[in-house]
Amino acid sequence: MGIPSISIYASELMAFYDVKTLIRVGTCGSIHPDIHLKDVVIAMGASTDSNMNHDRFGSISFAPTASFGLLDRAYHMALDEKMTAVVANVFTSDKFYDDSFEQKKKLLSSYGVAAVDMETCELYSLAARHGADALTLMTVSDSLVTGEHCTAEERQTSFSDMIRIALEII
C-alpha cells in the first residue's frame, strides 16, 4: 500500500467515519538476525526515511508509537497462545527498492530495529493526530539478512497468527 495510500485511507476513516481503532496486518522484511521467517512482529515504534513527518513537523523528529493498550493485549495474547512474536521498532520506507538499503539495514539493525515495512510510521502518526488507537502486526515474509523468503503458498496459508491476534484484541 505504501505511505501515501495509507495516509489517505487512515485519514478518511478517522476524520469522516470516526474510526477510533486501526490495526494494520501485513507482511514485512526482517532486517535483524534474531527475527525469522513467519515470526510475528508487533510494531512498538517506527522510524522512517519518508518525508511525510518532516513535512508535518519541520525540524522536530517526531517518534510515532503504537497505542500501548493494543500493544500490551497483542503481546500477552501471543505469549498465552505460544506464538513466535516479538515487540520491536520497525523501519517504514517509501522505497521498495533502495540503492542505499544495505547501509540503512546495517545501521538500523545495530539499533535493534527488527523489520522494514511501508506503512507503520504514517499510521501511528495519523492515529496520534486524530486521537485514535493504532497497532501494526506483521508476519515476516522475507529475511533481508539471509535472503530467505516465504513461498506464495506459505503467504496464503501460514500467516494466520497475526490475524488471530488482531481479531482477538479488538
Alpha carbon distance 169, 119 (integer Å): 20
The rounded distance, in Å, linking the Cα atoms of 149 and 110 is 22
Which string of DSSP letters, residue by residue, matches 91-158? EE-S-SS-TTHHHHHHHHHHTT--EEESSHHHHHHHHHHHT-EEEEEEEEEEETTT--B--HHHHHHS
Catalytic residue among 49, 98, 133, 142: 142
142 is catalytic: yes
Catalytic residues: 142
